[in-house]
Chain A
Amino acid sequence: MDMLLFGALPYVAFAIFVIGSIYRYQNGFKYSSLSSQLLETEKLFSASVAFHMGIIVIFLGHFIGFFFPSLFSSIGGTSLVILEIVGVMFGVLAIIGLVMLFIRRVTTDRIKVVTNRMDLVIEVLLILQFILGVVIAIEMKWGSSWYASNMVPYLHSIFAFNPDIAGMVAMPILVKLHVVGAFLIILLIPFSRLVHFLVAPFHYITRPYQVVRWNWNRKTIRDPKTSWDDIQRPKNN
């Protein structure tokens, strides 16, 4: 059972996530934030902002810990306490945001029209995942420290294709649930609206404001030497 959940599930989840996301991206039309703000804006404001602030900070925390575990394991004393408090605060922020989003999704007439089952599954899963995370942080002190020293080696071993689940199996049930939850969410990304964060628009920062697209090459179009073969063919049918 442990082998299945911690040795096999991660591979299944990542494989489905990667292949599924690429497959879905073949048709860019299927990637969208699916914003519902046009239909309802007031309740969305605090809910969406709180949730996204929360999840992005928490996500970055896990991410940094994964790549630079030494950064976290070396922290001690007051800095560790502050780090933990910040973590819990953003975790709670995300929970508040998520619960508000969920309520908005199931109670607002106009939003119900643009809600599907997967939206609800994802939001419930995220709520449970965040509650687990916050409970773990409070109950099992100095998570940022033992995450770096005990969990990250397990995660690294997975990415090294040499899973060493011994440390993981020894973890309390809450942590196990949190880890399995994470794999499940990753698995569901290509089937849900979560794909939107894969296409977060960072390239906007470096792009010039105006965008012009040419269907023909203006340098060669008037040149009689340009051969017909070089001319662009329609790609869409």
Chain B
Amino acid sequence: MDVRAQISMVFHLDKCLGCHTCTVACKNIWTDRKGAEYMWWNNVETKPGTGYPSKWEDQEIYKGGWERTKSGKIKLKGAGKMKGLLNIFHNPNLPVIDDYYEPFTYKYLDLIESPQQEMQPVARPISLITGKPIDIKMGPNWDDDLSGTPDFARKDPNLANLTPAEQESMFQLEKMAFYYLPRICNHCLNPACVASCPSGAIYKRGEDGVVLIDQDVCRGWRMCITACPYKKAYYNWNSGKSEKCLLCYPRLESGQAPACMHSCVGRIRYLGALLYDADKIEEIASSPEGDLINNQMDIYLDPFDPEVIKAAAESGVPDSTIKAAQDSPIYKFVKEWKLALPLHAEFRTLPNLFYVPPLLPVMASVTQENDSDGSELNEMSKHWTDKWLYDTSIDEIFGTIEQTRFPIKYMANLFGAGDEALMVDKLKKLMAIRIYRRYKTVGDISQEKSDQALAEVNLTEEDAEGIYYLTSLAKFDERFVIPAAHREQSIEMMESTADVKGSTGFGFIEKPVRGM
């Protein structure tokens, strides 16, 4: 057993407001420089939607991630030793800037310097690449809150295997629902970006599992861009190097939460350590489709088990990290309560960012009450007389889950690797917690019913209290349990983040001047 520690994350989707504060925090620290304007290491997508870059989930287009061969082994879908080296002069599977969007700004100076004239001056948009005026056709959040639905939400790759009727049910104007999906790099256990890099520039840090690109070794062969199925490795067209989310490791090393998590308004984000068995990575990443998620859960070890603690010490994991793993909110959500799921486990990178699926938009259903005459539009007043009611009742314990607004299949395509039963299990758990809390606070639900709900999803009252506490009340230190980096023993960096603002990530203090 080769025990290592992995910094991992949980995002609680029921709590995300879609405010993009996380995105802006990240942008301001890391990617507001030439060549990186188009990069959003953290982004928040509206689901259903096509996301960023457009349709990134469709690996028929982007050829990201791993695939399982007939012999039960895994290989990279669009990169690797053969494909990568053969396609090195031109990578046929590379997304281009238009798949993301052309970054732009406005000529604000025109407003200030405009001579007096009859019409108001306007600030025209100009491209941040060419500096020439452009017509903005698309941006990174063009489909926020379902805007432009026919062009975006309808083309969500996760709808592909839904029947036309199921798809239709998601897009009736009065019944449409959506939720937000914040995304960062998953700092995977079996990272496709690392495996695809011909130079060996991308690496996983042994101590905490953060995946980084060594800017001094990257040669711009741009294979990681293709290989990452989440499209979270980006090519800087100015510096000629690839870049990615670095989980704010300079902050982590000084005990601070990453900027996106620190700033999260909805407090949806949790970060902590998980112990895992590195010997099992390949075997588990090669599991048959249906077993992927359950097997991935098995790779994470119980930090309270004396055997595990002993093995961890033998593998050089410090006591402080083991303690952090025991206090980890991630361990609770993922292993203890089994409430969180990885996004698109079928890409086989073993991602370490887990999502508590959103219950609200899925559960609430709408009932229509017509006026007595049955007409919808009042002839005289031209206003709607329909009464649409949100039904969030819980008369039947899990009734609403069986008649969800989002087909379970759609949710399972995202979080369950297609496994609907797994998805229903998580939603039922979330529902049971609600029932429990309603019994406790409002009191219009009997204890009997609450007990019954918890029993059905194998949760104890103690679990329910724990979930409720961590979901709603947990303070900063409980949401982010960051193992000490032991900078006294080994330090990758000692700079302050502000000193190197404007440079390419971390590792050397120098402006990212383009190589000749």
Chain B residues near A45: list those with CB within 8 A: 90, 92
Q: A209-236 CB contact bits vs B (8 Å, 1 = yes)?
A: 1111111111101100000000111101
Binding site secondary structure of chain B = loop
Complexed CA–CA distance, A39 and B96 (Å): 6
Closest residue on chain B to residue A220 by CB atoms: B316
Q: Which of chain A's residues 12-70 have a Cβ closer than 8 Å to chain B? A: 27-41, 44-45, 48-49, 51-53
**Residue among A34, A53, A196 with most chain B CB within 10 A:** A34
Query: Given A30-B515, A38-B94, does the pair A219, B222 have CB atoms closer than 8 Å?
Result: no
Excluding A29-B239, A32-B220, A38-B235, 10 further A-B contacts by CB distance (< 8 Å) are A33-B220, A44-B90, A53-B89, A110-B97, A116-B514, A193-B516, A214-B207, A218-B316, A221-B489, A234-B491
Q: B194-209 CB contact bits vs A (8 Å, 1 = yes)?
A: 1101111011111100
Chain A residues near B313: list those with CB within 8 A: 222
A116 touches B516 (CB 8 A): yes
Complexed CA–CA distance, A70 and B280 (Å): 53
Chain B residues near A215: list those with CB within 8 A: 205-207, 490-492
Complexed CA–CA distance, A194 and B504 (Å): 23
Complexed CA–CA distance, A65 and B207 (Å): 50
**Does B215 lie at the interface of the complex (its beta carbon under 8 Å from any beta carbon of A)?**
yes
Query: Given A48-B89, A110-B130, A211-B203, does the pair A40, B516 have CB atoms closer than 8 Å?
Result: no
Contact with A31, one of B219, B486, B489 (Cβ below 8 angstroms):
B219
Chain B residues near A204: list those with CB within 8 A: 81, 84-85, 197-200
**Residue among A31, A49, A51 with most chain B CB within 10 A:** A31
**Does B507 lie at the interface of the complex (its beta carbon under 8 Å from any beta carbon of A)?**
yes
B486 touches A216 (CB 8 A): yes
A232 touches B490 (CB 8 A): yes
Binding site secondary structure of chain A = loop
Complexed CA–CA distance, A32 and B198 (Å): 12
Give, as a whole number of angstroms, the nearest-CB distance from A121 to chain B. Answer: 11
Query: Given A28-B216, A201-B199, A215-B490, does the pair A38, B515 have CB atoms closer than 8 Å?
Result: no
**Does B190 lie at the interface of the complex (its beta carbon under 8 Å from any beta carbon of A)?**
yes
B515 touches A31 (CB 8 A): yes
B241 touches A237 (CB 8 A): no
Chain A residues near B516: list those with CB within 8 A: 30, 116, 118, 191-193
A209 touches B206 (CB 8 A): no
A52 touches B198 (CB 8 A): no
Chain A residues near B202: list those with CB within 8 A: 211
**Does B394 lie at the interface of the complex (its beta carbon under 8 Å from any beta carbon of A)?**
no
Q: Which of chain B's residues 473-516 have a Cβ closer than 8 Å to chain A? A: 486, 489-495, 504, 507-510, 512, 514-516
**Does A124 lie at the interface of the complex (its beta carbon under 8 Å from any beta carbon of B)?**
no
A29 touches B90 (CB 8 A): no
Q: A92-131 CB contact bits vs B (8 Å, 1 = yes)?
A: 0000000000000000011011101010000000000000
A34 touches B204 (CB 8 A): no
Query: Given A110-B130, A207-B200, A221-B318, does the pair A34, B514 have CB atoms closer than 8 Å?
Result: yes
A218 touches B216 (CB 8 A): no
> How many residues from A make CB contacts under 8 Å with B?
59
**Does B221 lie at the interface of the complex (its beta carbon under 8 Å from any beta carbon of A)?**
yes
Q: Which of chain B's residues 60-114 have a Cβ closer than 8 Å to chain A? A: 80-81, 84-85, 88-92, 94-97
Contact with A221, one of B85, B203, B316 (Cβ below 8 angstroms):
B316
Give, as a whole number of angstroms, the nearest-CB distance from A211 to chain B. Answer: 4
Q: Which of chain B's residues 200-242 have a Cβ closer than 8 Å to chain A? A: 200, 202-207, 215-222, 225, 235, 237-241
**Does B460 lie at the interface of the complex (its beta carbon under 8 Å from any beta carbon of A)?**
no
**Does B129 lie at the interface of the complex (its beta carbon under 8 Å from any beta carbon of A)?**
yes
Q: B426-442 CB contact bits vs A (8 Å, 1 = yes)?
A: 00000000000000000
Complexed CA–CA distance, A236 and B130 (Å): 35
Chain A residues near B206: list those with CB within 8 A: 212-215, 218
**Does B382 lie at the interface of the complex (its beta carbon under 8 Å from any beta carbon of A)?**
no
Query: Given A210-B190, A215-B206, does the pair A205, B85 have CB atoms closer than 8 Å?
Result: yes
Query: Given A192-B516, A215-B492, A221-B489, does the pair A37, B94 have CB atoms closer than 8 Å?
Result: yes
**Does B191 lie at the interface of the complex (its beta carbon under 8 Å from any beta carbon of A)?**
yes
Q: Which 5 pairs between the two chains have the least Cβ-Cβ distance? A: A218-B316, A28-B216, A201-B198, A216-B490, A32-B240
Q: A171-210 CB contact bits vs B (8 Å, 1 = yes)?
A: 0000000000000000000011101100101011101011
B203 touches A49 (CB 8 A): no
Chain A residues near B447: list those with CB within 8 A: none
Complexed CA–CA distance, A28 and B507 (Å): 12
Give, as a whole number of angstroms, the nearest-CB distance from A112 to chain B. Answer: 8
Query: Given A37-B94, A41-B96, A210-B195, does the pair A29, B515 have CB atoms closer than 8 Å?
Result: yes
Give, as a whole number of angstroms, the nearest-CB distance from A53 to chain B. Answer: 8
**Does B132 lie at the interface of the complex (its beta carbon under 8 Å from any beta carbon of A)?**
yes
